[in-house]
Chain A
Amino acid sequence: MKKTTPLLLLLVFGLLAGVFGGCTAQEGGLVATVVVTATPTARPEGAKTVLRVGTGDSGEGLTPHFKIIEMFEAANPDIQVQLEPVGSGDYYARILTQIAAGDPPDLLQIGDDAVPMFVDKGAFLPLDDFIASEQYPLDTSIYLPGVMEPGKWNGVQYLLPKDFSPLAIYYNKKLFDAAGAPYPQEGWTWDDLLATAQQLTLTDASGNVTQWGIQLPGPWTTGFEYWVAAAGGSLVSEDGASFVGYMDSPAVQRAVQFYADLYHKYKVAPPPADMNAFGGGNSEFDSGKAAMRLFGRWPQASMKQNPNIDLGVAPLPAGAVRAGVLFWGGFGISSLSENPEAAWRFLRFYTGAEGAEVWKDWALPTVKSVADSSGLSSDPIEGVWLNELNHLAPRAYVFTPYWGQTADPALRRVLESVILDPNANVAELLATAAQEAQAALADVQQ
Chain B
Amino acid sequence: MAGTTPSTVTSGRRRDRWSEALAGYAMISVPMLLFLVLQIFTVFYAVYISLWKWNVRSGPVDFKGLGNYQTAFGDPIFQRAVQNSIYYAVIWVPLTMAIGLFLAIIVNQKIRGQTFFRGAYYFPAIASSAAITILWIFIVSPDGLFNSLRAVLPFDPLGTIFGYGPHKNWIGDQDTALNSVIILNAWTTSGTFMLFYLASLQSISGQVYEAAAIDGANAWQTFTKITFPLLRPGHFFVATVAVIGALQLFDQAAIAGGPGGDPNNALMTVVLYLYNAAFSQFNFGYAAAVGVILFVFIFGVTLIQRRIFGSAPSW
Whether both chains belong to one complex is answered with: no
Residues of A within 8 A of B (CB): none
| B interface residue numbers (CB < 8 A to A) | none
